[in-house]
Amino acid sequence: MSQTESIWAKVPLKSPPEKFYGFFRNHMGDLVHMFPDNFQSFQFLEGESFTTGSVMHWQYHLGSPAAAKIKMRVVDDVKKSIVYEFMDGDVLKHYKVFRAKLEAVNGGLNKVGGNFAKWTIEYQKANENVPSPETYMELAVKVSKGLDAYIFKN
């Protein structure tokens, strides 16, 4: 029986965590325009906004074309965190369970480390030959850095 594993990464933020989180909370579909090499299309399948229970369909490119049906399992405006659960799609050919969690953390000016985004990917491999989902984490870090730079200069 396979167990759930996780990987995580922290990305320092120059922009306010509230604005960074706000993008994923309100404008995540804009990733298609901001990162066209990675995201080809987005649409809501259930719901009309980025709220708990909304289901989205994404077409993306991560080494090869892929698609996913993703549910926003948890949206917590107080903690500035969102949990995305993959319901269907290419990633589930390799993983029985695949969830990504974003947390935008306000480290404050006087705290060591400052503001950051933390991505955690929880997964359960379909079999022991499946590697950990490093390419998905690399994409999350790339998007976070690009988005942070965009928010910071605007």
Say how many domains are in the chain: 1
Encode pLDDT of 37-82 as tens digits. 999 999 999 998 999 999 999 999 998 999 999 999 999 999 999 9
C-alpha–C-alpha distance, residues 144 and 129, integer Å: 29
Residue 142's Cβ-side half-sphere holds a number of Cα atoms within 13 Å equal to 14
pLDDT digits 0-9 by tens, 16-39: 999 999 999 999 999 999 999 999
pTM value > 0.85: yes
Residue 110 has pLDDT above 70, yes or no: no
- Using an 8 Å Cβ cutoff, are 80 and 105 in contact? yes
Q: Is the pLDDT of residue 111 over 60?
A: no
Tell me the average pLDDT of the chain.
Answer: 94
Measured in degrees and rounded to the nearest 5, phi and psi for residue 41 equal -155, 160
pLDDT of residue 107: 82
* Residue 112 scores a pLDDT above 80: no
CB atoms near residue 152 (< 10 Å)? 13
CATH, residue 94: 3.30.530.20
What's the DSSP call for residue 131?
P
So what's the pLDDT on residue 114? 85
30: containing domain: 5-153
